[in-house]
Structure 1
């Protein structure tokens, strides 16, 4: 047999084998399928003594008996591959068996779940059906009782009548040629239903097969049955009818508050009427509206009167009536800690003094060593009294912040440095305290310095109408040193004495009211407001409205950063849970419902929006013309400002408004709280404005956008540097100042006519020097007749650049010939000088 015949024989043996497989389906169906399986050829190495034609051979076998071209390494590699394939097939078989087992378990679990659901559904349907049958039975019993009651009521009218058998009565009626009396429809229906039930008719209510929810709720005729509420209402009507007639329910007349405009659905809600009825009434009055449309107050008043209610006209501002303050009774008032505001000039040691009182290092965390936010702290004195301190900035840019500090304070501590005396911001602080009518205590600080002169401070205060006790006045003055701690106890005693005189009290058992000392947008916590509670107690979970924002107290932190559940009068806390950043100085009021808070905030936002629109719109032709004129003459420097807190942003905007003059002004396109975002960069790029960040930074997206669009971002931590840079940039917009320097005068002695040149003035330079390149003016009787330039300047017959005083020369004006003897020529030069704000 040849090799070819041997291969053919091997191929036939390894060919497909056929067989029958029986497949099983659901519902007992089976099917026989003919399948073919192919046997996989597996090469198994044979012993070393096998035939060469078998292709076998071991690693140590005779190479001459091994297939041609196969080395020991190749043979070993094939053997390893074969063993790995067998192992993989075994693993796959085990995995397939595990997967099949998991699938069987999953199918069994699903079957169990389906059976459980079906069992629950059947039980629920049976319970529902039993309930319906019980109600029907109760209804029949009620009807039977009603019929029995009516029968007893009719019994005295015909006492001679005897109850007769219905069959006998019917037979007698037939003998007398009369038809039997017709039964009521309900009784005939019940009789038919009972007959069919007895006969096992086609309308039998017994369950056949599965009972569905629709079948359980279906009526006796197979139609839709009335709801449970309808059946209860029907039973109530039957009960009232059995008790002697149905009494009509009396209509409730309501007082309906009606604003200038109202939505139809809201009008129906306030009248406690159905929206469909209100829409129908409007359509009958010729208004085709839907329940979501707005109608005016006059139309709504007609509808309210048509429904029989009373109209109470209110305005939009009445939404704030829910937060109107009510006077507290004297019995409800309890003592509260005093609120002390520390004021004074910059770098006079206000924060250092508070540090010494608090025994902390607040000043170390301030940029540049200055206070740029309002800090609120609580301090417990040695005698156990609690004091609330407000630390306000002293720089001129924070005037408004100091003003807010004076409005919420009880006592002002005016800090004046003993070596510096009264300064401009000290005077401003005095004016704020006087305007707020707040008592003042003067703390003369830095008395430990060699140049300290407390008496000079007291004398300077006399000019501001502040007379201290040492000069026989009524204002307490205390000499202190924040560095050494000298006089701090005396200062606290003076504060406690002043607080005792004031008899500060508040009602802690009412809705909270407070003032926002500072507000900021925290990345991790959202909008955060530092609130000084003035009345009532602010608790976690309270719903409040503050300015144009509203919120719910999610959490509160005291000045030490610890979480608290409530804050009473004169307690400063950081409040979390606002929907936006309020303005510093806004008043916080606690309301009852979230809807009230949202309504008040939306009303205030709309009012603010209307005010801004009215302020920005020109309402007359003169204003329009003036605006157009200003736009042409005034150069604007647009900027975008982002700060860390609201108070700093407000102070920066106010400082920017003071920069400029009639030619240049700084325009703040947008100011806000929080990080610099991509929208800020887009606004700055559209307006060609730089972006200034005060204690904030731009996020990654904003930085990339700024680099691509060429928008400049500058960061600052001290407000002085920001103001100085903006001033320098705005100064660059100023046009250079033109200055004239008079360099000489010349008097015209004679006038000559020269062909090709025109009139030439023979002049004598009386003062200074005459230059060819300089500007000239022609004066006649000290009145300027002409201003221009020289066409020619000659000395004798030669053209010269300049002529000295005392010499004669010839001058001719460019494009001007009206020169006369005794006229004076004024010679001057011009130079440009840069200006700054």
Structure 2
């Protein structure tokens, strides 16, 4: 065999022949650990003829473990003997690898056994600790039971002694024998290498350790102590004395609320009512008399109160004199339309408010506070001058300290100027006359002073006591003189208020803002309004979420005579409502619910019928014109409704189905569609859903921002609903003398014209004994044998009446013309 023949089981040489064969053996240990050992086997190098002499044979290296696993490596085997000169076969190498793997496996098993032994020791120690804790718990339980048994035995002996039966010994409680029989179980040592016998049933927990032999949880020391104290209390003291309460009972109260105030159970009250023959539940109301029977039956005292006592009455709450401090005056500007009220306020404020009003007309009440240079703050209320805003102007006069009557020097006193004077007199507030537009051509201030005399207003220039100032709002002339007059009048009034108390204010205006919800403009009368205060405004309750002044800036508080916008209302109050801060939410809800119930009663209760009201309208003959009104603020909505109601006549009346504040919603459109009514939006628009429904149901929208245009359209619509006006003009009368036949069916009447003239083709009424028999027309008119077009009074003629043959001698014929005119209201 050739020497260079390839040996079996050997790799082909790569470059220089390798003299060392290498292999790897993987070792596995406990807990998922493993190690890889590199095994090297040196083989003999075979030399060919001509090669150098063989080198000395090296010793084979022993297997080496990884440095970090030295502690887990098997014991070092003896150094292998020098390899024979003949090369090691593949079978021998495999046998050597198997031997190494066997040694590694033995080492791994040895380490696992040691780990199991350590775990078993830890488990046994834990079991012994739990047994000790259970034993301590059992001892504590036995001690508690023993103490309870002794206490029970003492109590039983005291009872027997009290009954003079001391000779009979009381039997021991059942707990005592069980205590004697229960002995602590002997400890069982867990054998090494297996779990303790007590742990075979499951994990030992605190609850299991505290359970008795019967499986029930043993009572704690605190429970046993409470039981002993209760037994002692029941033994020592007799029945408790019933507490008598003073129960406040309104006109109507629920059974549950009455039971709460009495301190009794609701079921007991319901049972008592059942015995009285009243089948009620805890949520039903009972009247004051029934509540009195229940209160008396349960041994309490009743205090009757009226529902009206729930409401807040601020008139009786008067502040002491020493708490009052000076406050700014509240000035209301009044006058006729377009006499320059808002422009005058702009000149004072230095802000252009009129530019934001539609058509240059003020539609809302504006409240502003102005601090002149070198002067004290002044609060202004700007009220609209249109006649539809009468109630708003009256409301402004009632919250004001001082009124400024604006009269245009070139226009004089107008009806609404006189109306404003009457409001000022009714409010009993001092007045300052501002004669505006003195810069215009034709201005005559002296004429204004003379016209004021007709209404018992005498200005200082004419030896009176009313101040008058000639101003020009456009050129800002004499504005400083007007402010001086206001400060002078305010000093005379000595206006004071207590700022250190809960706020009391008046709602000047209210509106529904899309982003902020219900918003009310209030004027603080006294006290200080702060963020976080709980309040009630009319039938609306809430908590002040934010305060915004007239410049749009947020403030933390508002003192007397300070106008602010209040955010945080639950619903929209009415303009003019009282705004009062209360102590808590419960009180606010109670007052708001009572006021809402009063409003509901007024709405549902019909007004008493009288003879005058019965004949005011003609009932079915009157046409109803339905409308739905939505406005941006409460005061404007009220003014529009009042203006529309004034348009009603005997023939047609305006019926406002619904009026509200805020955007036009889908519910408004649905209501309009069902009642066939148009929707009037004043400074508001419908949302997208409402527009879709309106397009589907063909509901008409009318948008306005000036009240003049709104009322004009309603007048035209109402006139169109009535149709054109029919006017009848009587042109002649005739008396039937004889009746003749005319043709086969018709009859001709022989007439004597009594009055006026009879014309061919005119309308006629045939009356018999002043009762209308028929309405007809003159179909044919003949005098003697000639056809004529008209016959005058005092002559006779024959006439054929269309569509009637019911003619008798003695009947009267009335001839009239009909004219159609466009109807106006």
Contact 2:630–2:680 (8 Å) recurs in 1: yes
TM-superposition CA deviations, 1:547-597 (whole Å, max 9, x none): 121111111111111111211111111111111111111111122221222
When residues 253 and 793 of structure 1 are mapped into structure 2, their CA distance, relative to the original with a 3 A threshold, is same
| Partner Cα distance (2:492, 2:481) in 1 | 17
2:582 aligns with one of 591, 598, 607: 591
Residue aligning to 2:715 = 727
Contact 2:254–2:285, Cα closer than 8 Å, also in 1: yes
Aligned-partner Cα distance in 2 for 1:593–1:810: 93
When residues 762 and 282 of structure 1 are mapped into structure 2, their CA distance, relative to the original with a 3 A threshold, is closer
Contact 1:413 1:442 (8 Å CA) reproduced: yes
C-alpha distance in 2, partners of 1:368/1:230?
82
Work out which of the residue numbers 710, 717, 734 in structure 1 matches 2:698: 710
Query: 2: CA distance between counterparts of 1:128 and 1:770?
Result: 130
Given the superposition, is the C-alpha separation of residues 284 and 729 from structure 1 closer, same or farther in structure 2, using an over 3 Å criterion?
closer
For 1:369 and 1:690, locate their aligned partners in 2 and report how far apart those are by CA, in whole Å: 27
1:369 aligned to which of 346, 360, 367: 360
CA 537–250 in structure 1, closer or farther in 2 if over 3 Å, else same? farther
Q: CA separation in 1, counterparts of 2:169 and 2:545?
A: 74
Q: Distance in 2 between matches of 1:434 and 1:529?
A: 28
Partner of residue 385 from structure 2, selected from 379, 394, 398: 394
Q: Are 2:301 and 1:310 equivalent residues in the alignment?
A: yes
Matches within 5 A, 1:196-211: 196-198=182-184, 210=203
Conservation of the 8 A alpha-carbon contact between 1:751 and 1:762: yes
Give 2:624's aligned residue.
Answer: 636
Residues 500-509 or 410-419, more deviating: 500-509
Distance of 2:320 and 2:529 partners within structure 1: 20
Three-state SS of the structure 1 residue aligned to 2:721 is coil
Name the CA distance, whole Å, in 2 between partners of 1:128 and 1:675: 74
1:285 Cα deviation after fit: 5.4
Corresponding residue of 1:252: 243
Kindly tell me: are residues 661 and 752 of structure 1, through their superposed partners in 2, closer, same or farther at Cα, counting changes over 3 Å?
Answer: closer
Q: Is the 8 A contact 1:638 1:668 kept in 2?
A: yes
Cα pair 1:765 1:803 within 8 Å, conserved: no
Aligned match of 2:191: none
How far off its partner does 1:239 sit? 7.5
For residues 753 and 148 of structure 1, do their structure 2 counterparts lie closer, same or farther at Cα, with a shift above 3 Å needed?
Answer: closer
Matched, 1:652 2:643: no
- Against the structure 1 CA distance between its residues 658 and 755, is the aligned structure 2 distance closer, same or farther, given a 3 Å change threshold? closer
Match of 2:498 in 1: 507
Corresponding residue number in structure 1 for 2:175: 189
Aligned to 2:337: 346
Task: Report the Cα distance in structure 2 between the residues aligned to 1:545 and 1:136, rounded to whole angstroms.
Answer: 64
Q: Does 1:462 align with 2:449?
A: no
- The CA deviation at 1:224 is 6.1
Q: Compute the displacement of 1:190 (Å).
A: 4.6
Whether 2:824 is the aligned partner of 1:836: answer: yes
Q: 1:793 maps to what in 2?
A: 781
Contiguous gaps of at least 5 residues in structure 2 = 1-31, 33-131, 158-165, 189-197
Aligned to 2:84: none
Residue 397 (structure 2) aligned to one of 402, 406, 416: 406
Q: Of residues 664, 674, 686 in structure 2, which corresponds to 1:676?
A: 664
Q: 1 CA distance for matches of 2:143 and 2:317?
A: 60
1:684–1:691 Cα contact (<8 Å) kept = yes
Query: Hey, what's the Cα distance between the residues in 2 that align with 1:766 and 1:280?
Result: 90
Instruction: State the match for 2:411 in structure 1.
Output: 420
Q: Are 2:445 and 1:434 aligned?
A: no
Question: Post-superposition shift, 1:619?
Answer: 6.9
Identify which range, 391-400 or 215-224, moves more after superposition: 215-224
1:213 and 1:669, CA in 2 relative to 1: closer, same or farther beyond 3 A? farther
2:7 maps to none
Is the Cα contact below 8 Å between 1:557 and 1:575 reproduced in 2?
yes
Call closer, same or farther: CA 1:578–1:801 in 2, change over 3 Å: same
* 1:56-88 C-alpha deviation (Å, 9 max, x unpaired): xxxxxxxxxxxxxxxxxxxxxxxxxxxxxxxxx
Rg comparison, structure with higher value: 2
Aligned to 2:440: 449
- Cα drift, residue 666 of structure 1: 0.9
Correspondence for 2:376 among 373, 382, 385: 385
Structure 1 residue 275: deviation in Å?
3.3
Deviation readout 1:657-707 (Å, 9 max, x if unpaired): 001210011111100111111111100000111111000000111111111
Distance in 1, matches of 2:135 and 2:554, equals 57
Structure 2 counterparts to residues 614-633 of structure 1, below 5 A: 614-615=605-606, 630-633=618-621
Offset at 1:829?
Answer: 1.8
Partner Cα separation in structure 1 for residue 542 and residue 139 of structure 2: 53
Structure 1 range deviating more: 503-512 or 488-497: 503-512
Q: Is the 8 A contact 1:692 1:715 kept in 2?
A: yes
Residues 4-43 of structure 1: per-residue CA shift (max 9 Å, x gap): xxxxxxxxxxxxxxxxxxxxxxxx9xxxxxxxxxxxxxxx
Shift, 1:200, TM fit: 6.1
SS of corresponding position for 1:696 = coil
Q: Structure 1: how far apart are the matches of 2:716 and 2:170?
A: 107
**Are the counterparts in 2 of residues 258 and 314 from structure 1 also a CA contact under 8 Å?**
yes
TM-score (norm 1): 0.71
Q: 1:775 to 1:556 in 2, by over 3 A?
A: same
The 3-state SS of whatever aligns with 1:447 is: coil
- How far did 1:265 drift? 2.2
Shift of 1:775: 3.4
Closer, same or farther in 2 for the Cα pair 1:181/1:234, shift >3 Å?
same
In the TM superposition, what whole-angstrom CA distance separates every residue of 1:200-227 from its partner, at most 9, and x where no partner exists? 699xxx9995567866886896546779
Deviations 1:519-547 (A, max 9, x none): 11111000101111112221111111111
Task: Label 1:738 to 1:265 Cα distance change in 2 as closer, same or farther (>3 A).
Answer: closer
Aligned equivalents of 2:694, 2:306: Cα separation in 1: 48
Q: How far 1:599 sits from its partner (Å)?
A: 2.1
In the other structure, the counterpart of 1:667 is 655
In structure 2, do the counterparts of structure 1 residues 216 and 538 end up closer, same or farther at CA, with 3 Å as the change threshold?
farther
SS of alignment partner, residue 364 of structure 1: helix
- Mark the CA change 1:217 to 1:450 in structure 2 (over 3 Å): closer, same or farther: farther
**TM-score normalised to structure 2 length:** 0.72
Structure 1 contact 379–388 (Cα < 8 Å) conserved: yes
**Residue in 2 aligned with 1:695?**
683
TM-aligned CA deviation for residue 646 of structure 1: 0.6
For residues 826 and 269 of structure 1, what CA distance do their matches in structure 2 show? 83
Name the CA distance, whole Å, in 2 between partners of 1:752 and 1:579.
81
User: Which residue number in structure 2 is paired with residue 686 of structure 1?
Assistant: 674
Aligned to 1:534: 525
2:135–2:184 CA contact under 8 A, matched in 1: no
The answer to whether 1:261 aligns with 2:222 is no
In structure 2, relative to structure 1, the CA distance for the partners of 1:754 and 1:281 (3 Å cut) is closer
State how 1:38-117 maps to structure 2 within 5 Å: none
Which 5+ residue runs of structure 1 have no aligned equivalent? 1-27, 29-125, 152-178
Q: Contact (CA 8 Å) 2:137, 2:209: kept in 1 or not?
A: no
Alpha-carbon separation, structure 2, partners of 1:227 and 1:614: 66
Q: CA deviation at 1:337?
A: 1.2
Out of 232-241 and 250-259, give the one that drifted further. 232-241
Instruction: Quote the residue 2:542 is aligned against.
Output: 551
Q: Secondary structure at the match of 2:352?
A: coil
Distance between the aligned counterparts of 2:133 and 2:685, measured in 1? Answer: 67
- Tell me, what secondary structure is at the counterpart of 2:502? coil
Distance, in Å, in 2 between the alignment partners of 1:316 and 1:226 is 53
Q: Which residues in structure 2 correspond to 1:191-340 (within 5 Å)?
A: 192-193=178-179, 196-198=182-184, 210=203, 222-223=215-216, 233-234=226-227, 236-237=229-230, 245-246=236-237, 250-282=241-273, 289-321=280-312, 325-340=316-331
Instruction: Give CA-to-partner distance per residue, 1:591-633, whole Å, 9 cap, x none.
Output: 22212222222222222112111127x879x899879x84411
Q: Secondary structure at the match of 2:355?
A: helix
Flag the 1:335–1:828 CA change in 2: closer, same or farther, 3 A. same
Single out whichever of 801-810 and 685-694 deviates more from structure 2. Answer: 801-810
